[in-house]
Amino acid sequence: MELVRATEAAAIRAVPFIGRGDKNAADGAAVDAMRKFLGTVNFDGVIVIGEGEKDHAPMLFNGEHVGNGRGPACDIAVDPIDGTSLTAAGRQNALSVIAVSDRGTMLDASSVFYMDKIVTGSAGRGVVSLDQSVGDNIREYSRATGKPVGEMVIAVLDRPRHAGLIDEIRSAGAGTRLMLDGDVAGGINAARYETRIDMCLGVGGSPEGITTACALKALGGFMQGRLAPRDDAEREKAQAAGLDVDALLEIEDMVKGDNTFFVATGVTDGGLVEGVRRVGPMIRTESIVLRSRSGTQRRVIAEHLAEKWL
């Protein structure tokens, strides 16, 4: 619940910037609110997945210590707004996100910006793989789940780099759900049984990949990733950091152990949670809280007295 307070605060503070076209202002407001609330949490946290280096503020930067220094030592992944462009444009699926695991368990992939990913529900384990073709993955997953290929929906970031991937999905007979941004929500929805998304594919941010892995541990879903350097310089930077850019990463390679928490609060409405809204004198937020050790998924709907946030 302490973590939820931080994502709720970040989401609420981002609201005045929804649809205003200034993603940096929205991100700055969310960062300031999240940092303030994280400072009250009973843990000794180090940000492994943040937004960059300290001198590029506003951001919660890699290596920054958060929490009050008491309690368990933790690795932290933060994204005060996953979907700053969505927020600035007033579009759906913007989230405020925090993921936590034991100290030393979260892969630091910050030297490589992108990661190729595949995410499904638990039925994908031992069935789909990044080493298989897109068509084979769709057909094999169809057989594993008993869902006809023609009814399957594959989430993909709507980027020029994915033009060929989108063609392969449609050629296999499945449909696409093109996401403007926010592939954390896309990956989580692919692993949840009550959504229409069956699989999430494509190249997105490596920080988002690690964050998604924390959530997948609690959902029991399947995920693989492979780092995708943009050029030789980034490949060399990854190798200097001890990363194997050709390795096929399983969830356990991204986040070790069975003690992860994932928390997300909606900034704008989306398929995972509803966005912040004003209801009379109250501000209503919806959050999702996932814990791997217990395998629980909780939804937290909170009402905050608006005058306290003026």
- Known binding residue 44? Answer is no
- Known binding residue 114? Answer is yes
- Known binding residue 182? Answer is yes
- Known binding residue 27? Answer is yes
- Known binding residue 205? Answer is yes
Q: Which helix (H) or strand (E) holds 110?
A: none
- Known binding residue 84? Answer is yes
* 153-157/222-227 β-pairing: unpaired
- Known binding residue 278? Answer is no
- Known binding residue 181? Answer is yes
- Known binding residue 160? Answer is yes
- Known binding residue 55? Answer is no
- Known binding residue 293? Answer is no
* 114-120/222-227 β-pairing: antiparallel
* 199-205/114-120 β-pairing: antiparallel
- Known binding residue 281? Answer is no
Residues annotated in a binding site: 27, 51, 79, 82-84, 114, 159-161, 181-183, 205, 208
Known binding site for substrate: residues?
Answer: 82-84, 114, 159-161, 181-183, 205
Q: Which residues are annotated as a binding site for Mn(2+)?
A: 27, 51, 79, 82, 208
